[in-house]
Structures are given as C-alpha cells and as structure tokens.
Copies of this chain bind each other. A is one copy, B any other.
Amino acid sequence: MSTKTDPTTAPAAPTPAELGVGMRFSIHPHTDDFVGVILGALADAEAAGLTDGLAIRTDEVSTYVGATTVPAEQRLAAYLAAVVAAASRRSGGGHVVAHVLLSRGCPGEVTCDLGVTGLPGAAAVELEPTGIRAVAHWSLYPLLDGGSDAGDHMTHIEAAIARATARGVASPAHYATKLVGDVAEVLATAVDAWAEVGAVVPHVVTHLTVSVGSPSRATN
C-alpha cells in the first residue's frame, strides 16, 4: 500500500476492512412521513455516487456501513453528511436527528482479533458545507487494555476535545461534548478526532447525536 517502504520487508498497511473501519447510524425524521424521508435520503446519497467503497446494510434499528476501500474516513463522512442533509431537505427543514457510532479496530461482530501490524493515520476529511446548522452531543471512547503503553484514556479524550474546541465548534456538557456548526463541520470534527486517536489506539469508537431543525433552539 505504501510507496515509501520496501514491500518485501515492511508489512502492508491494513485495509479499512481489515481494521474494521465503519459505522452504524440511524436517522430520525420527526414527521408522520418518516419512512419516505428516510428511504428518500438514502436513495439521494446513493444517486450522488456516495456509496462507492462502502458496504451498506439496513436492519430494524440502524444502518451498518463498512468501508472497504480508502479513503475510508472521507467516504463515511461524505455519505453521512449527504444523508443528513437530504433528510433535512426532504422533511422541509423539519426536526431530524441522526445517531452515529463510528468504530475502528474491531472488524468482527464479537471479538476484536485485529491481526494487523501498524495503525494507519488518515487525512482530515473535506466536506462541502451543507448550509444546515447542527447541534450535536459527541463522545469519544479510546478502548485501551490494562497493561498497554498507550497512556490513560482521558488524556486522549481531553486532547481531542482541545482540538475540537480550537476548531470553534465545541463546548463541554456532562458525558459529552456539544458541537455546534454546519452539519459538515460537526461531522468532520468528530470523524477527524476519531481517526486521530485511531492512529495510536487500536480500538476506538465515537458516538454522535446530531440534531437539525430542533424547535427547542429558541429556548436554549
């Protein structure tokens, strides 16, 4: 995978599928026509060509999206931003919430037998602004093992929050960090933080509850 090292001596970087880079998300239009909005938004993102390199499977609770090719983080973020923006448009700017779980380092369903050497970094994702304001609660979980040399979990979390704060979108809340900004910037902040921790911690998960069009805004 790398042109900088001799492939006969250096192990290839693990693929997104080998690392288990992917997400689960659910999208909740608060309207009687939620089925039409959800199915329409998923179809819009597919029609825009944003499902390339992704394995997508929807079940009763959420949609699983596994990245099969690089750039995995960019593909996941662009697809997610498109689905959220499409759902907002299709509900006429109404209240839509997405819940997202991004995971890397646990490719199987139960165990986490990575069997890879080396954790690849990822370029920061680049998303076009959607023009839609989002407010989100974001949590990041570096899943260390006792006895590892990757430090304390809170050190990684605090560094990620500091980077998000420097982007101008973050403020603290209990059990989460509040992110406010364009849907694209909110998603990019969480995806970048997750990928950055993933370059040093083998198993890292982040959760994000993204709200657009909330009628509560005026009172908070």
Which A residues fall within an 8 A CB radius of B? 22-24, 26, 28-32, 34-35, 58-62, 64, 66, 95, 97, 99, 101, 103, 106, 109-112, 135-137, 139, 141-154, 158, 161, 172-176, 178, 203, 205, 207, 209, 211, 214-217, 220
Contacts and interface: CB of A to CB of B under 8 A. Distances in A.
A175 B205 contact: yes
Contact of A109 (B28, B31, B35, B174): B174
Copies of this polypeptide in the complex: 2
A146 B143 contact: no
A64 B99 CA distance: 17
Nearest to A148: B146
A12 to B, nearest CB: 24
A43 to B, nearest CB: 16
B60 A154 contact: no
A19 B184 CA distance: 35
Contact of A174 (B24, B34, B142): B24
Contacts of A175: 22-24, 64, 101, 103, 106, 205
B152 A61 contact: no
B205 A139 contact: yes
